[in-house]
Structure 1
Amino acid sequence: MKITVLSDTHMTRGGKKFPEVLVKDLEESELIIHAGDFQTVEIFNSLKEYGELTAVAGNVDEEELKQILPTKTTRVLHGINIGIVHGDGKGKTTEKRAEEAFSNEAVDLIIFGHSHIPYLRYHQGVLLFNPGSPADKRRQPAYSHGVLTIEDESSWSIHHKFYT
């Protein structure tokens, strides 16, 4: 199973389009996971056109999105427990806030966003993954998103795709 993972699309400025490398992954994926900050309902709807979408609301999403999307959610895919949260808030690091959002839940992977900084590290046996941003890289050297591949609960991997 191929899953495209993204966050912080922030694509309202200047009629931006999704980068071709992202579009290719979206077209090939069985599922899309978005960790918040679509910014607009139009971006949310355009991603749904590519297929099944699991998503959470981010801090800069339009009010309509905040009303229809949860602030955090979990999905179990082929035995892998995945927590999804945007990661915004006050105090602590984005990674710590994401980790604490699922402190009372048994998850294998936490997908989060907010910082726009690609992140891939284990914390206390749980893999934390921030895909970065495909449209607003801020001070990062490249735009990015993630690809999660699941064969079964004992064989899965996630990695970043970087592009300029």
Structure 2
Amino acid sequence: MRIAVVSDTHMQKPSQALITAYEQVMQNMDAVVHCGDITGEQVFSFLNSHPRFYVVAGNMDSGQWADSLPRKTSVRLGEFQVGLIHGFGLGFGPLAPKVVSSFDGLGLDLVCYGHTHKRLFDPDGYALPILNPGSFALPKGSPPGFACVELCLGWPPQVEWVDV
């Protein structure tokens, strides 16, 4: 199972970088997930063209298009259960442990979150593997981009960072 994980695009309309990344990488993935702060309805519509697009709302998502988006969800992707959350509103201090604990007891294979704009992948430092793809447009401490994740039964998730 191959998943493109995106977060914090903060765009009103798809940029050329997003269009290129979608055409060259994302459209070929089994699923695309967005961890919130899409910001614009046109970007939501563009990414929603993928047949298996899953998204949660971030603190910058508003309007009719965003009103029905969950703040937190888990999705079944083949044999795997993946949790999605933006992360806003979980309090101060390190966010990753709070993200993981917000999914306690759900038997997830991976948790994906956003909000910090900082890339993080930790396959075994918490109760389960956790991933923050950073920000597509406004990163902190890394190039703009997203993550491609390979999930295989019996193996930890494999992550490839894609710079845009």
* TM-score when normalising by structure 2: 0.86
| Alignment correspondent of 2:134 | 132
For the pair 1:113 / 2:114, whether they are aligned, the reply is yes
8 Å CA contact 1:8, 1:113 repeated in 2: yes
| Alignment correspondent of 1:56 | 56
CA–CA separation in structure 2 for the residues paired with 1:124 and 1:163 = 26
| Alignment correspondent of 1:141 | 142
Distance 1:96 1:155, change over 3 A: closer
Q: 1:127: Cα distance to partner? A: 0.4
Consecutive unaligned residues in structure 2, runs of 5 or more: none
The one-character-per-residue Cα deviations of 1:91-133 (angstroms, maximum 9, x if unpaired) are 2322123112102322121000000100001333400100111
- Greater strand share, structure number: 1
8 Å CA contact 1:35, 1:57 repeated in 2: yes
| Alignment correspondent of 1:24 | 24
CA–CA separation in structure 2 for the residues paired with 1:125 and 1:45 = 34
Aligned residues: 161
Distance 1:127 1:156, change over 3 A: closer
8 Å CA contact 1:118, 1:131 repeated in 2: yes
Consecutive unaligned residues in structure 1, runs of 5 or more: none
* TM-score when normalising by structure 1: 0.86
| Alignment correspondent of 1:86 | 86
For the pair 1:38 / 2:31, whether they are aligned, the reply is no
For the pair 1:47 / 2:23, whether they are aligned, the reply is no
The one-character-per-residue Cα deviations of 1:64-88 (angstroms, maximum 9, x if unpaired) are 2442111111122233221110011
